[in-house]
Structure formats: C-alpha cells, structure tokens
Structure 1
Amino acid sequence: MEEYIKEALAVGHIRPSTSLAAAGFFFVGKKDGGLHPCIDYRGLNAITVCYPYPLPLVPAALEQLRGAKFFTKLDLRSAYNLVRIREGDEWKTAFHTTHGHYAYLVMPFGHTNTPAVFQSLINGVFQDILGKWVITYIDDMVYSTSLEEHMRHVREVLSRLQWHHLFVKPEKCEFHQTTMTFLGYVITRQGVEMDATKGKPRRLAWTNQAQAAFQQLKDCFTTAPILCHPDPDLPFMVEVDASSSGIGAVLSQRHGKPGKLYPCAFYSRKLTAAEANYDVGNRELLSIKAALEEWQHWLEGARHPFQVLTDHRNLEYLHGAKWLNPHQARWALFFTHFQFSVTYHPGSKNCKVDALSRQFEASSELMQPDLILSATAILAQLPDAPGPTCLWIFQPTYPTREDLLR
C-alpha cells in the first residue's frame, strides 16, 4: 500500500485530502499475480446519479469483424486514471489508509460511473471510424482486410490516442495478428470460434433419455411464456437463486397497467466443482454476479436503479458489509458498476429461479440414502473384528427414574 500511495502521488493521480468523506481502501488479486487497488465507494455510489452510457453489445461487435484478415488489440495503460475528475469534485473520492487520507484527481476504480464515462470518452476519440475498422470495448480492436491497410489503420489509431494523451501498455498489446482472443472468443480470418481452453471435449451419447429430454425441450419452446423486449426507459428486476448444484436468474420488467411482470430473459448454469464448495451465502452472491455479467449490457448504466430479489435474507445487507473475503472483495468491485438494491423474496415465491437453479440436481434414484442414527447411538469402527472391517452400533441404556428410587 505504501508503494502504491507513493507512486500515485508522484504521477498526480491522488493528493492529500481533508475531506469529510472517507471510503475504505484495499487490494484484490489479479490473474497475473499482481494487486489491483479497490476503493469501497458503495456509500458514494448509492447517492450518485447514474450516467446512462451502456457498453456495446458483444454479438454486434463480433459481427463487425466479418471479412477482416488482420487484427490488433490495444490495452490502455491505467485506462480509467487517464480521465481527470471535474475540479471541485475531488473531495467526493476521498479514501483513508494507514498512511494517510487522500482524494483522487482522476477517475478511480470502484465508482459506478467510471466504466460508462470512459466508454463515452473512447467512443468520442474514434467516433468517425467506429464500426469501420475500430471496435471499442474497454480494450480497442483494429481490424483490416489487408496488411498494408492494417498498418495504416494502426498508425491512425495510435496517433489519435497520442493526440488525446492516452497511452497503451505495450506488453499487453497484440499487433498485426491473424488469430486473436477478443471478448472471450477466438477471432480468425475464417470467423469467430469458441476458445478451446474454456471447454472440455466430451463425446455426445444420444440415449433414449436424451431423446426424451430433446422432445420435452421442443414442447417447451412451443408453450414457453412470451419474452418481452427490454425497454431501457423502464426499471429492471433481477430474480436470482442458487442450489447445491446450480444457479438461476430471471430478468423482468413491468409493462402496462397495473404493471404486470414479464420476463425479458432467463439464465442458468451448473456450478463448477470449486463453486459447489461455497457456503450458501457465497453461492447466492455468485448467482447475483453471474446474472449481472450475463445482462451487463442492459443493467450497467441503466436509467433506473434496479432491484435484485433473493431468498437469502443476509444479502439485504450486501452494500453495508464491512468485512469481505477475497471472493467477495473482487465481486464488490464489479458490483460498483451497477446501481441496485437487494430485497429478500421468500423461497415460496421464488418458483421461477428455483426451477432454473435446481435443474442440475441428481435424480433421486441416483442418490444414496443417508444412515440415520438415534441421538443416543454410538458408532465405532472395530478393525480387529473377525472377517471384513465391521461397523458396530451400540445403543446404551440408561437407568429410569424408578430404578434410581429403588
């Protein structure tokens, strides 16, 4: 922390402050083993007017790459810290550490409007060439149909960044490639492919049970409820649930009068082996994170704060929690991109998401019944017993009241 404070002071990102505001400061681990500064701006975010500038849709961004043969990906150095905070508003970003009280002069990580403001800025830099040979999605992608054209395009992009005092991180950039990973997909001359490292090869065994499930799926498609088109002018509602094997979520909005709730989208997936070991609270919190990631293009920068419904009452205190484990700290940083409240919703009313999260549970025929013992029974293993190792159950007897009075 001391090293970060010294560096941030030296480059002019922060300055000592006497502000009455004082957000918590901590670090979360990054994938490359480094540390990422995180400010707990939940209090500030709760009273901040949201800047409604959504991120581009991933499918729309990938469609623009059709016909391209050469690709370059640029990673801006400390991207958010390249934007100056309006003079006079610095005191709002104040944070406290063991080394003093400071405030940011540039956009910090953790503020709800930071991603939207930066996206607006970078779109302004490349406004006349967006969709032609540049994609901006936090990272910048340059694409072209020939190498000569691509080199000219890359020089133009770098020149614009330099003009606006925006600088790239060379070690994170990839230049003049014919194959590249972008937005979680592998981009090639032939098209868009799934990242093979994110999947496990598995041979499909088409059984009678699979055929029955396929037929059931077709029946569901013909009788499923109508999905309404998401309307950015209306508030969203997110219902979430987690079971021991999966998570589920429903994105909904109220339409008409008196405001009937209609689903906009459904989401569910099976828990990984590591996630299945989470306690109940962390599984429920994971369902919120997964839902916000799935519908980030609608919920981040939404015009109205949205509501998250969960049957885990403790999550109502999510925004006020003082002690977070490493998982929760990383997720808390992600949650700062959104404006939402968490509301307890009894499990008896959580039928839709309950069905989505529990569809991955093993059938009752495959589950072994648990041995139930009396509270007074004692279970002992006797390795020296004749024959195979045996388990013996002793049921001790205790004197009755009549026996004691004799």
Structure 2
Amino acid sequence: MMTLVIPGPKAPSKDIDVYLRLLVDELKELWEQGVPTYDKFTNSGFTLRAAIMWTINDFPAYGKFSGLSTTGFWHVMLSVNPAVRPVRQKRRAYDPERYEAMKAEVDRLSSIRFIREVDYPTWLANVVMVRKPRKGWRMCVDYTNLNRACPKDSFPLPRIDQLVDATAGHALLSFMDAYSGYNQIFMHPEDQAHTSFITDRGLYCYKVMPFGPKNAGATYQRLVNHLFAPLIGNTMEVYVDDMLVKSRTADQHIPNLSAMFTILKQYKMRLNPTKCPFGVASGKFLGFMISQRGIEANPEKIQAILDMTIPKTVKDIQRLTGRVAALTRFISKATDRCAPFFKALKGTKRNITWTAECETAFSELKEYMGRTPLLSTPEHGDILVVYLSVSASAISSVLIRSKDNVMHPVHYVSKALQDAEVRYPDIEKLAFSLVVSARRLRPYFQAHTIHVLTNQPLRQVLQKPETSG
C-alpha cells in the first residue's frame, strides 16, 4: 500500500480574485498567442506562473522540479512486503524506433530530475513503449512483479455516477488537469530504488511517483481529497486527476475558482492550461457530457457503435456488447436489445451464427443510439417514479423525474435473468426488477420518495408473498 505523508495547510492568500478575473477573461486570448508573457498578470505578487505550467520547464525551485512542496513532506511510500523475494526482470530487446524514443524520454526525464541513476537495485523492471493514438511513443514501466509485493490500497474512489449527477445542472463549469499530476508527488527516498527500470543507457529509478504502481490512483485520490476537502461536494468534484469547479450561477464562478486556486497556490500544484477549459457551459467529465440541461452520452462512444460494421467474429460481438455496456445508463431495455447477440455467441468459441434476428437487433440498436435521451438530475425534494418491465429473459426499469409536467428519464437499468430466474412468473420478475433497481439506484431511493408503476398488482405480492405460490 502507498502511504502519503500529508502536511497541514498554510494560510490562504487574499490576492487571487483579481488574478482570476483576468485569467478567465483572457486565457483564451493567451492560448491563441501561444506561450504568454506573464507580466500582464502580475497583481499583488501573484502571477499566472504560480498555478499554470506551459512546459515542464516552468517548475521552479531546485534544479527544474520542486513537486508539491520544496520542504519534502509530500512523500509516497510503497509499503513493499519484505517477505517477498525481489524480482529483477531480464532485459528485453526493442526495435530501433523504440530505442530512439526510449533514449529521448530518458534524457528528458533526467534533465528535469524526475529520474536518477541507481546502482545495485533489488527490484528491476523493463520499459514498455506504447504508441500514442496520434503520434509518438509513451514510455511505461512493467511493474507487474513489484505490484504483487505491494498490498492493495483500499482508499475508496468516488462513484462516477454520483459525481456526474452532482455536476450536471450547473450554469458554468471549469475543468482542470494537473500537469503530469502523478509526477508532482515525490517518492519516499527509501522507495525510489524499488521503481528501478532498465534501459540501454543504464539503470534508473523514479524520484517522483510514476505511472504503473497499482496504488498510484488511490494515492492521488487521497491527495486531492485532502487538498480540496473544504470544496469537494460543494463547488468542486474530483476523481483522481479529473478536477472540476462548478457554479449554479455565472456570478458564483469567479469566487468558486478563487477558492480552488488559493489551494493550488498553497500546495504548489501546477495545471496544464491546454487541458483546462474555464467557465464553459458544458463539457466532458468522466466519459459523460454534462451541462445545465442534464447528462448526455459521450458522442465518441455513440459514434463508435454507429461506425461498426456487421460483426463477423466472436471478438466483434464482444466489442459491440462492451460498447453498449458502457452506455447502458442511456439505453432502454439494453439487455433485451442485445439478447440476439448473446444468442449468437452461445455454444461457440470461434464461429458465430449471424441470424436475421441479429440483423434486425443491430439495425434497431444503431437507430436508437442515434437518438439517445438526455438524462435529467433530480433536485432535493423531487418525487421520482420508477417504471418496471420484464421479458422472457431480462428485467428492466427506468427512473423518471417530472418537471413542468414533462417526464424526464434519470437512469435506465437492465439485467439478464439467470438460471432459475428465467422461470419466475411475471409477477415475481417484477418484484425482482424492483429489488435490482433499488440496489443499483440506491442513492436515489435513499434521497427521494419513489413511486413504483407496473401493470401488475405488485403491492399485494410484496405485502403477502405467500400468494405468489
């Protein structure tokens, strides 16, 4: 498990409001001009440089990198189990293109002091070069063996659906992305050698937290939870390195940003301005499109389904159903829509039987994905309605919110029936559908009064279960 040693906060700065007004109004202009001159943003000793990084060279302090503190109390400990025998992986061979990319990245990381040379490491891992989607290579390290020796950090990550619900419905949003966020946290000196990796240039280890250790995400979540504790759930939401400031009205946005930037200044966290849209009405957050209107499916995920050709292999069908699964919140009776695809996979490991039923289901799915609904977010005191539906092989439901006498979907639920569940009478399937819905939509059932609507006398069955036989 990674242990994060956290200091107490410093006194907040009071000179940030004017700076933020300039930032929100003029940052777009600066992006169009390229790397800005910082003098025009100087106000009461606070400059744009204090929270923004245009390049890695903008890190001040010792050498070219200071991390989240110049006094060294932001340290990550790996908690490696001493009873586990260290593993030194054998050096792997790479093609010339990967060698050149590795050499360039090692030179870059050395120049900014993210890594250092190491002698006689007990743990040693290989570099893995991963091609970026657009251009170039990303250097990763294979920490498979090291991760097996580290206990799992059980620090909880926030529920994505609840964060998305809490964000939608706001007038203005600002999305923040830390510049090499993981790398802004120091490794504990005693654990640096555990991150050692081998290259054709020699042996190196990380002085900062790299990507790859299994608890890196939980460690970063613990960090941001501590930093932004007064703001999270009020004016800010954070999921690992995805940070967002939200405001119900436009007038509130500058003060809300001010509070967040005050914390950034205290702890010297730097943002990447090219990935920080400020003061926008909508944007992508955790794979969803959010706005004041509500929650929409990610257009890229929808397009990925619309662009698919007729599946010809098992992997093609698995790819299709996987893409549908990522959007089930927006899809009415998703399991029923995919039932023909699952039938095509039954009893085969290689070949599939693409039937007319599959063809019809595929066409209807694409038609539906072209008009996925806008989901609403309930407000405090709203009475919600859940509609239940059953079929021969699945149960489904939709949570509805009524606003201005118009019904708005909040969340769709669907589940395939297994084994004995398939043989339930319809009335029992409805009861089971209610149970599944209550479990999956627990936060809504806890916070709101829910009216259940069906075409069956479900209340009598729940009150007198013996009548169902």
Deviation string 1:282-314 (CA, Å, 9 cap, x unpaired) is xxxxxxxx99x99xxxxxxxxxxxxxxxxxxxx
Q: Which has the higher contact order (CA 8 A, sep 6+)?
A: 1
Quickly say closer, same or farther: Cα 1:189–1:34, change in 2 above 3 A. Answer: farther
Distance (Å, rounded) in 1 between the aligned partners of 2:230 and 2:262: 15
Quickly say closer, same or farther: Cα 1:192–1:129, change in 2 above 3 A. Answer: same
What percent of counterpart residues are identical? 25
Question: Which of 193, 204, 220 pairs up with 1:102?
Answer: 204
Question: 1:28-47 to 2 correspondence within 5 Å?
Answer: 28-47=130-149
CA RMSD of aligned residues (A): 3.2
**Deviation for aligned residue 1:169:** 0.4
Question: 1:3-402 to 2 correspondence within 5 Å?
Answer: 3-18=104-119, 19-137=121-239, 138-200=241-303, 243-247=314-318, 269-270=320-321, 358=345, 361-363=352-354
State the secondary structure of the residue aligned to 1:21.
coil
User: How many equivalent residue pairs?
Assistant: 232
**Deviation for aligned residue 1:184:** 1.3
Quickly say closer, same or farther: Cα 1:195–1:150, change in 2 above 3 A. Answer: same
Quickly say closer, same or farther: Cα 1:363–1:356, change in 2 above 3 A. Answer: closer
Are the aligned partners of 1:68 and 1:189 in contact in 2 as well (CA < 8 Å)? Answer: yes
Are the aligned partners of 1:269 and 1:357 in contact in 2 as well (CA < 8 Å)? Answer: no
State the secondary structure of the residue aligned to 2:224.
helix
Deviation string 1:360-392 (CA, Å, 9 cap, x unpaired) is 95356899xxxxxxxxxxxxxxxxxxxxxxxxx
Quickly say closer, same or farther: Cα 1:362–1:123, change in 2 above 3 A. Answer: same
Are the aligned partners of 1:15 and 1:103 in contact in 2 as well (CA < 8 Å)? Answer: yes
Deviation string 1:247-278 (CA, Å, 9 cap, x unpaired) is 3xxxxxxxxxxxxxxxxxxxx95378xxxxxx
Question: Paired residue for 2:41?
Answer: none
Distance (Å, rounded) in 1 between the aligned partners of 2:255 and 2:356: 64
Deviation string 1:176-233 (CA, Å, 9 cap, x unpaired) is 0001111111111111111234325999xxxxxxxxxxxxxxxxxxxxxxxxxxxxxx
Give the letter for the 1:362 counterpart. T
Are the aligned partners of 2:167 and 2:237 in contact in 1 as well (CA < 8 Å)? Answer: no
Q: Is the strand fraction higher in 1 or 2? A: 1
**Deviation for aligned residue 1:75:** 0.7
Structure 1 residues 37-46 or 16-25, which shifts more? 16-25
Distance (Å, rounded) in 2 between the aligned partners of 1:37 and 1:121: 24
Distance (Å, rounded) in 2 between the aligned partners of 1:57 and 1:117: 17
Give the letter for the 2:224 counterpart. I
TM-score normalised by length of structure 2: 0.45
Larger radius of gyration: 1
Quickly say closer, same or farther: Cα 1:169–1:355, change in 2 above 3 A. Answer: same
Distance (Å, rounded) in 1 between the aligned partners of 2:344 and 2:186: 43
Structure 2 stretches lacking a partner, 5+ long: 1-101, 307-312, 328-340, 359-469
Question: Paired residue for 2:29?
Answer: none
Question: Paired residue for 2:38?
Answer: none
Deviation string 1:48-82 (CA, Å, 9 cap, x unpaired) is 11111232111110111243110000010111111
